[in-house]
Structure 1
Amino acid sequence: MKLTLSALTLAAVLSTGAQAQGLSYPATRKVDQVDTYHGTAVADPYRWLEDDNAADTKAWVVQQNQVTDQFLAAMPQRLPARRIYTELYNFERFGIPFREGGRYFWTRNDGLQQQNVLYTAKSLTDTPQVALDPNAMSKDGTVALSGVVPSRDGKLLAYGVAGAGSDWQTWKVRDLATGQDLPDTIEWVKFSSAAWTADGKGFFYARYDAPKAGEALKGANYFQKLYYHRLGTAQADDVLVLENRDDKEWGFGAGVSDDGQHLLVTVWKSAGSKNGLMVLPLPKGAFAGGKPQAISLDFDAQYVPVVTVGQRLIVKTDKGAPRGKLISVDLKNPAPAGWKTLVAEGPDAMTGASAVGGRFLLSYLHDAATLVRVHAADGKALSDVKLPGVGTAGGFGGHWNAAETFFSYTSLTTPASIYRFDVKTGKVSAFKEPKTAFNTDEFETRREFVTSKDGTRFPIFIAAKKGLKLDGSNPTILYGYGGFDVSITPAYGVTAATWLKMGGVYVMASIRGGGEYGSAWHEAGTKLKKQNVFDDFIAAAEWLVKNKIASPATLAINGGSNGGLLVGAVTNQRPDLFAAAVPQVGVMDMLRYQNFTIGWAWATDYGTSKDSPEMFKALLAYSPVHNIKSGVNYPAVMVTTGDHDDRVVPAHSFKYAATLQAAETGPAPKLIRIETNAGHGAGKPTSKIIEERSDILAFFANTMKLEVK
């Protein structure tokens, strides 16, 4: 039955599935849309929901939110969960400091500010001054800083802003002495920062062309270009540095070497970790034109520039070393035959490399926990950085001639503290340690190992109150991601802390598809091997049940973006194993994801339905939208998305929720929570974070009958 807009808005027509479940879901009309892939016909009855700007889609969003709001408002756990979340969120938080032009810069949030504020000071003992406050840029707190880059002399600040969670950025330049913005304005920036030339006269950045009237930036119709902007000139006069019209998947990341003598360009294709590397001389620290020359454009490995020392470029790579190594490239003769290994591949995955104080600081993951090792300029191992415990450390940026660097350290039950590291002496000292209402002494984290379906072993991190009773009755959240070389390591988050304080157990799984054990680990969870990711996550859930941490009645799963895909796929494959599932901003339609915004870039991990019959078959086998089982009792599901998400478009979640509601999946609720004026999550204001995440926890608690006081 095709409904008019007025009927869709007003009629209380229920699908058969909704009636069976006892909830009055809005009726979602179906269309006769069928696509053929390699000779196989696949129905797509909710194709119309892909147009999130259409009036009937907007009306559907309003109706769905009404149902969800009514359900959430009736939960006795909602207000207590929000109170606890707010209490734990309200603590002073700091970003990792960095130094440029005789100034220190770092971010701070006093606790409940909508966005972090950028501060600057001449020394660490001076009273910091506000350099930039994004909270003054919008009334609702939805404008966020997407990047800040000071000029080499520390006088000017290039900064990017994004609104409503969008990936689109506008870049401006602020005079730090006056606090006023210069006329320079850069538009149509996405997935790019800025890189100043050493003379301070301009910066490199990457952007897309502005769309023509009536056109939209979708798929590969538009491609990224690298430009140089000279201060005081219009964006229309910016110099085109690099583009590739023959391969529109190319994107660019620009950096200027520590000595200011080279532009270093990383060339990315899609969202994979393999990239190209190019270099352009900058005589006397200025841009004089010219085209970057290739170090490697084979896209056969990762190539991350670390530092230039004279005419040698130090690069972190996994070329011939799946767990990573450090190499030295002669810029006068950069052919691979002349590359020299500076630090060889070791037993642990090298996840980061920086050059500070004439030494290399190399970060590794050992069973998903951070280790940091110090090496001399010739590659010789010197010492390890003494970290506070088994957890996650990040930062360690700085300059080759600097004496210090800063890093953060966190664990599942320890909020991130900021530390200063003296490179010469090896001394670690606290810079900022947050004070929070969360009592870390009451809880503990332990690392366990799970064996997957095919015998692969991987770690999980379990945070719980000390003295946890192992009888299977503990309300437990299992979180995962499993993709795009992203490592899941133990780190404090208010969501986990709130759940722990509510009386639950929080578990993180470091599964295949991530970067916890190097490039081979990542590749083992991609394309035709993607099922390994789901098998690992299911194995983690089964381990929790077997070891009586939880039971199917007390186990919930959660993940976002690629992790939303994980939750959707696993819910379909093992609906009997979970009490509740919340996929956030998930990639749910695996046959069409590449058709929207940046979706085409994910093909390195997923493959596409057009690639081959084999690839199509594999995608169809786990695509969340296409594998919902009618006639099977599902756990309680609450899908979350944002109506302005221009990375994983909301159509994924819309179609998945509509399909769930129309199917016969038992009495448990099948809801969708759609955040308005919000995107993928980056830059989301504090108030929206608290509301959304506390609702998720309350939904879990309500499902598992956990009382919250």
Structure 2
Amino acid sequence: MHRSLVIGLLASVFALTANADAASPAEEPAAEGRAPLSYPRTRTAEVAEQQFGVAVADPYRWLENDVRSDAEVKGWVEAQNAVTDRFLATLPGRAALERRITEFYDYERFGAPVKKGGRYFYAHNSGLQNQSVLFVRESLGGEGRVLIDANTWSADGATALADWTPSEDGRYLVYSIQDGGSDWRTVKVLDVATGEDTGDEVKWVKFSGMEWAKDGSGFFYTRFPEPQAGQEFQSTNLNARIYFHKLGTPQTADRLVYATPDKPSYGHYASVSDDGRWLVVTTAEGTDDRYEVHAIDLRDPGAEPKALVTGLENNWSFIGNEGARFFFITNKDAPKLKIVAMDVGRPGNPVTPVVAESEATLDGASIVGRRLIASYLADAKSQVSVHDLQGRKLSSVDLPGIGTAGGFRGDMGDAETFFSFSSFNRPTTIYRYDVRSGEVSEWAVPKVAFNPDDYAVEQVFYASKDGTRVPMFIVRKKGTSGPAPTLLYAYGGFNVSLTPSFSPTRLAWLEQGGVFALANLRGGGEYGKAWHDAGRLAQKQNVFDDFIAAGEYLKANGIASPKGLAIQGGSNGGLLVGAVVNQRPDLFDAANAAVGVMDMLRFDRFTAGRYWVDDYGYPDREADFRTLLAYSPYHNIKPGVAYPPMLVTTADTDDRVVPGHSFKYIAALQAADPNGQPHLIRIETRAGHGSGKPTDKIIEEASDVLAFFARFTGLQLP
């Protein structure tokens, strides 16, 4: 729930360079016969701070400034993009690769329907639309009608429909707009029958759900104070507040429902109970699964919040209610999580067990048709079981194979729900599940231009540095044997589980004879709280050790070519790539750090960074500082080291992990290894951390990254 808190110019380099300091040419191997690669000159400044007796240099701090308002940073970005574009244009097979990825993307895609008031709302993409279109049907088998087509909102396709929620009776739909990849949202309301906006508008919404009052009179949402002009994409997000917006009124009239002004770092998320009586407020300070929970009686206009859980000690994720009986997922005394019921009508809010902890990790739960549908991860693969409201297991949901299931939304009175299923070799298929009979039927099956059975998926387990057993998926085209160019991907943090999913871009890599590997490192949520705790704070090095061990396994077992291992990760995974390249530059043959957290001593000073202290620690506390300094990618680049080819990717409107992280990191890497392999940065415009990125930008970036990998791992492209 809270994880949503928990992604250029081709001209003369020297003509675009403003300030002079470290400009040395970098050359590819002489046998390639390529002209020297000259990096833009990046000014350095005498910036150093004493932290706990350590002089910490930060010569590229000026690159933290916002590219939209700082002319010097803008010029640097243009110069870097010019060099990168010129290099990428020389890569053999890059154009053919882009054509093939485009072909793989060109298939009809559906999202799982949401049923309200007898209407079915769902997302649909005809194939190459930059943004999916929101449709509605008046019956399950009826004809779809377009409600919202975000493709008409901007010429570049970078304005996206973010979240959307229909009212209980299906009459209205509240939706949010995301522009240029920013986390900021503008919220509007649509009349479903007419397809016209009502005129309601709410701004400065971020990290928020939109929860309708059951009577349809308005909705609850979370927002932050309006930032100062020019600081929209960098200022720290503090003082989250929950408001109620009544339809037909201006935002200035919105009623403040819940806030903690004495604790500005607290974030709040609102849920309306199934019976509509209660507003359940879940509070977190960071990204860890440690919540406080309060309930507000919506029948009493003057009701004070009733404390259900205090102390920020455990996960208490609200599922739904049956009268005074509130259902929660919790890890209290259950590291792999369980389902409990809390009686909020009795003194002390007594808690009773409903579905006990099991060997598999509980990944989510919902109440549909008076049934508890519980989703589990067994070695990072989905399993789904169905229980009555007393916890008795009634059945399991038959899944098509090894993969990832998601969805199962619905209401207490619904007789049906929908879920998605995908795997590495199978695009997302939508299924209808009959709650009473347990019957599973196909609702939307994609038609693709390849045979999924041509690709094999296996799971292996390998030993990390300390002997910990770590799972890893390996995917390849049948017939691919012996060592082959291999792409290794991982994340390793924030309790996020990596599970099988389909990617048209990865399929293009596999089709050409490459191997794809996904490692489930510690720090993720695949095995519950203990697995997460083993990869955060002072234990973060375990994540890097797990990833390095994965690379060693792939090479030692003849899966990856001796000089053919590429690595990739995004966001926290970008940090992972930066850290392991510093620690084992000899092991990896090409790397892509995407929208990464690269300066571990200043991450908490920008936008959502202050939430991440749960996983990373506090840079202003000595023990955490020393841990962070030991692996911070920006601070551990050493002159004279032969680093592997690196392509850093980021975006100018990323206000989750601000691009200054990537800017500073690549500047330091270019200065430390100026004559070695290429160390380049690709900076997208009008794109953010990843959410809402248009299809054409996704294809273009993926083509650049995979062509870069192919060049340095030996993968032969057409």
**Which band: TM-score by shorter chain?**
over 0.9
1:669 aligns with 2:678: yes
Distance 1:563 1:268, change over 3 A: same
Deviation, 1:615, is: 1.2
Residue 22 (structure 2) pairs with residue 15 (structure 1): yes
Among candidates 556, 569, 575, match of residue 566 of structure 2: 556
1:86-118 residue CA offsets vs partner (Å, 9 max, x unmatched): 000111111111101110111000000010101
The answer for the alignment partner of 2:32 in structure 1 is none
The residue number in structure 1 matching 2:341 is 328
Residue from 565, 584, 597 that aligns with 1:574 = 584
TM-score by length of 2: 0.95
State the partner residue of 1:452: 464
AA in 2 matched with 1:675: E
What per-residue deviation string (whole Å, max 9, x for no partner) do you get for residues 645-672 of structure 1?
1110000000011011001265211000
Q: Decide which of 301, 313, 324 is 1:311's aligned counterpart.
A: 324
Corresponding position: 1:59 with 2:66: no
Deviation at 1:437, TM superposition (A): 1.6
Q: 1:409 to 1:29 in 2, by over 3 A?
A: same
The equivalent of 1:301 in structure 2 is 314
2:54 is aligned, of 9, 34, 40, to: 40
How far residue 217 of structure 1 moved from its aligned partner, in angstroms, is 7.0
Higher alpha-carbon deviation: 100-109 or 212-221: 212-221
Once the two structures are superposed, the pairs formed by residues 209-288 of structure 1 within 5 Å of their partners are: 209-212=225-228, 218=234, 220=236, 222-283=238-299, 288=301
**1:327 match: secondary structure:** strand
CA distances 1:160-215 after superposition (whole Å, capped 9, x unpaired): 00100000000001111111111211000000021111111111001011134576
Offset of 1:311 from its aligned partner?
1.2
Contact residue 424 and residue 501 of structure 2 kept, 8 A: yes
Q: CA 1:212–1:507 in structure 2 vs 1: closer, same or farther (change >3 Å)?
A: closer
Within 5 Å, which residues of 2 pair with 1:428-507?
A: 428-470=440-482, 472=483, 474-507=484-517
Cα offsets for 1:499-549 (capped at 9, x unmatched): 111221001111111100001111111111000110111111111011100
Residue of structure 1 in register with 2:130 after alignment: 114
Q: Which moved more, 1:262-271 or 1:474-483?
A: 262-271
Pick closer, same or farther for the CA change 1:142–1:559 going to 2, 3 Å: same
**Cα separation, 1, equivalents of 2:280 and 2:103:** 44
Q: Residue 394 of structure 2 corresponds to which residue in structure 1?
A: 382
Query: How far is the alpha carbon of 1:310 from its aligned partner?
Result: 1.6
Partner residue of 2:102 out of 86, 90, 99: 86
Q: How many Å apart are 1:14 and its aligned residue?
A: 7.8
Shift of 1:280: 1.3
Alignment of 1:171-182 (within 5 A): 171-182=187-198
CA contact (8 A) 2:159 2:179 kept: yes
Instruction: Say yes or no: does 1:599 pair with 2:597.
Output: no
**2:6 corresponds to which residue?**
none
Structure 2: give runs of 5+ residues left out of the alignment.
1-12, 29-35
- Residues 16, 160 of structure 1: CA spacing in aligned structure 2 closer, same or farther, 3 A cutoff? closer
Match of 1:27 in 2: 41
2:499 aligned partner, one-letter code: T
- Distance 1:115-1:221 versus aligned 2 partners, 3 A rule: closer
User: Aligned-pair distance for 1:221?
Assistant: 6.7
In 2, Cα distance between equivalents of 1:398 and 1:690: 34
Cα distance in 2 for partners of 1:261, 1:15 equals: 64
Q: 2:121 aligns with which of 99, 105, 114?
A: 105
* 3-state SS, counterpart of residue 667 of structure 2: helix
Going from structure 1 to structure 2, the CA distance change for 1:549 and 1:153 (only over 3 Å counts) comes to same
Secondary structure of the 1:298 match is strand
Q: Quick one: structure 1 residues 488 and 215, their matched pair in 2 at CA, closer, same or farther if it must change by over 3 Å?
A: closer
- Cα distance in structure 2, aligned partners of 1:609 and 1:18: 35
Measure how far apart 1:267 and its partner are.
1.1
| Residue 413 (structure 1) aligns with | 425
Secondary structure of 1:45's counterpart equals coil
Evaluate the alpha carbon distance shift between residue 665 and residue 392 of structure 1 in structure 2; reply closer, same or farther with a 3 A threshold: farther
Of the candidates 344, 349, 355, which is equivalent to residue 343 of structure 1?
355
In 2, distance between residues paired with 1:217 and 1:554? 38
Q: Tell me the residue number matched to 2:407.
A: 395
Cα distance between partner residues in 2 of 1:425 and 1:328: 25
Is 2:26–2:678's contact at 8 Å kept on the other side of the alignment? no
Say which SS state the counterpart of residue 397 (structure 1) adopts.
coil
| CA deviation after TM superposition for structure 1 residue 439, in Å | 2.1
**Of 709, 715, 718, the match for 1:700:** 709
Q: Which residue number in structure 2 is paired with residue 360 of structure 1?
A: 372
Matched to 1:454, the amino acid is: D
CA distance in structure 2 between the aligned counterparts of 1:171 and 1:694, rounded to whole angstroms: 34
- When residues 340 and 651 of structure 1 are mapped into structure 2, their CA distance, relative to the original with a 3 A threshold, is same
Separation of aligned partners in 1, 2:648 and 2:237: 30
- What is the CA–CA distance in structure 2 between the aligned matches of 1:415 and 1:262, rounded to whole Å? 39
In structure 2, the partner of 1:3 is: none
Question: 1:406 offset after TM fit, Å?
Answer: 0.7
Distance 1:382 1:221, change over 3 A: closer
Between 590-599 and 256-265, report the one with greater CA deviation.
256-265
> Aligned equivalents of 1:144 and 1:106: distance in 2?
15
Q: 1:308 to 1:461 in 2, by over 3 A?
A: same
Does structure 1 conserve the Cα–Cα contact (< 8 Å) formed by 2:21 and 2:43? Answer: no
Structure 1 position 631, deviation (Å): 1.4
Deviations 1:272-325 (A, max 9, x none): 222221111222xxx735332221121111111111102100111111111000
Structure 1 residue 646 and structure 2 residue 655: aligned? Answer: yes
* Cα distance change of structure 1 residues 276 and 154 upon mapping to structure 2, 3 Å threshold: same
For the residues of structure 1 that align with 2:126 and 2:237, how far apart are their CA atoms? Answer: 43
1:500-649 matched pairs, under 5 angstroms: 500-612=510-622, 614-649=623-658
Distance in 1 separating the partners of 2:233 and 2:20:
36
Provide closer, same or farther for how the CA distance between residues 439 and 666 of structure 1 changes in structure 2, counting only shifts above 3 A.
farther
AA aligned to 2:342 is V
Contact 2:191–2:198 (8 Å) recurs in 1? yes
CA drift of 1:28 comes to 0.4
One-letter amino acid of the structure 2 residue matched with residue 438 of structure 1: F
Q: TM-score, normalised by structure 1?
A: 0.96
The residue correspondences of 1:182-197 to structure 2 (distance < 5 A) are 182-197=198-213
Alpha-carbon distance change, 510 to 343 in structure 1, aligned in 2, over 3 angstroms: same
Q: Which amino acid aligns with 2:453?
A: D
* 2:23–2:42 contact (8 Å) kept in structure 1: no
CA contact (8 A) 1:251 1:267 kept: yes
* CA distance 1:638–1:212, shift in 2 (3 Å): closer
Query: Is the Cα–Cα contact under 8 Å of residues 105 and 504 in structure 2 kept in the other structure?
Result: yes
Q: Measure the CA separation in 2 of the matches of 1:342 and 1:255.
A: 21
Compute the displacement of 1:7 (Å). Answer: 7.8
Q: Percent identity?
A: 50
1:500 aligns to what SS in structure 2? helix
One-letter code of the match for 2:531?
W
- Give the whole-Å Cα distance in 2 for the aligned partners of 1:186 and 1:39: 47
What is the DSSP-based 3-state SS (H/G/I as helix, E as strand, rest coil) of the residue aligned with 1:299? strand
Aligned mates of 1:117, 1:391 — CA distance in 2 = 26
CA distance in 1 between counterparts of 2:649 and 2:674 reads 19
